[in-house]
Amino acid sequence: MLGECVPHDIVSAPTRGSGHESQDSITIEIEAIEADAAARVAAGGSPELQPRRDYAPYRSSLLRHPTHELVRVDPEEVERLSPAFGHTDVNVLESDLTIQHAGEPIGERMTVSGRVLDGEGRPVRHQLIELWQANAGGRYVHKRDQHPAPLDPNFTGVGRAITGENGEYSFTTIKPGPYPWKNHVNAWRPAHIHFSLFGTAFTQRLITQMYFPGDPLFALDPIYQSIADADARARLVGQYDHSLSVPEFSLGYNWDIVLTGPKSTWMESEEDHD
C-alpha cells in the first residue's frame, strides 16, 4: 500500500564526500550543468527534458543509476504476482486526506485538482491516480523517516482517486512541509506531493512530483534541478487557482499531468527506485 512507499530522497545515503559538502558547492555544480545544457541547446541540440541518470549534485544517483542494460521480465508473470486494483476498489472518500481519522489534521488545508492528458491534449479517463506526501511538518508516516519533526496522528498522507470523463481528478489534503535529507550539509527538499498513475495494468505505472509556486528551495534542490530545461521543470509546479479555493475551507491549486509528447510531465524512471 501507499503507506509503505517512502521517497528515496529521505533515506538516500550520500556518496562522494560523505555528504559533507556545503550547499554552495552543490549549487556551483548545479549551475555548471545547467550552463552546459543551455550551451548544447544554443549549438542546435535538443533541450534536456529528463534528468541525467548520473546527475552528480544528487549524490546517490551516481550509485543508483544502471550501468548495464536492464533485464526485461515477462509482464504477464509480473502481473500474476502484483496487487490487483479496480474501480470498485476505490471509494470516492479516499481522495480526501483530511477525513481519514477522528480529528482534523494540522496544517494549511488545500484542494489539488487537474486533468490527466495525453500528448494530444485528450483526456485519460478512468485511470487510477494515487497520492502520498509528508505532513505539514515535513514528516512521512514511515519507519525510515526519523528526522525530528512531529507526526500528526490525524494525517497519514495517502489517497486515491479515479480520473473522470474529462481526465479530471481532485484531492483534498494538507500542504506538506519541506524536510531535510542527507545529500549534503543543510540539504532541504522543497515541499512536494508524489503522484502515481496507472494504465490498464499494474506494470503500467508512472510516478512524478508536484511542487508549489515560489518555493525558495527550488534553486538549491538537486532533484528538482536535475531537469536541466527550465520549461520542463516549471511543468512540475502547480499553480494557485482561486476558482478552486473553497470558501472558508481550502486554497486551490491546479496541476495537469501530461503523459506523452514534448510537453509531457517528468516521470521518475525505473532506476530511480533501485
Confirm whether 189 is a catalytic residue. Answer: yes
- Catalytic residue among 115, 160, 194, 235, which? 194
Confirm whether 194 is a catalytic residue. Answer: yes
- Catalytic residue among 55, 140, 224, 253, which? 140
Confirm whether 101 is a catalytic residue. Answer: no
CB 192 within 8 A of CB 9: no
- Catalytic residue among 179, 211, 224, 253, which? 179
Confirm whether 142 is a catalytic residue. Answer: no
- Catalytic residue among 160, 192, 233, 235, which? 192
Q: How far, in Å, CA of 101 to CA of 212, rounded?
A: 26
Q: How far, in Å, CA of 225 to CA of 271, rounded?
A: 18
Confirm whether 242 is a catalytic residue. Answer: no
Residue 109's CB is within 10 A of a number of other CB atoms, namely 18
Cell of 203: 506494470
Chain Cα centroid distance, residue 257: 11
**What is the Cα Rg of the chain in Å?**
19
For 37, 57, 58, 86, 113, the CA distances from 166, given in Å and listed in that order, are 36, 39, 37, 19, 12
Looking at the annotation, which residues are catalytic?
140, 179, 189, 192, 194
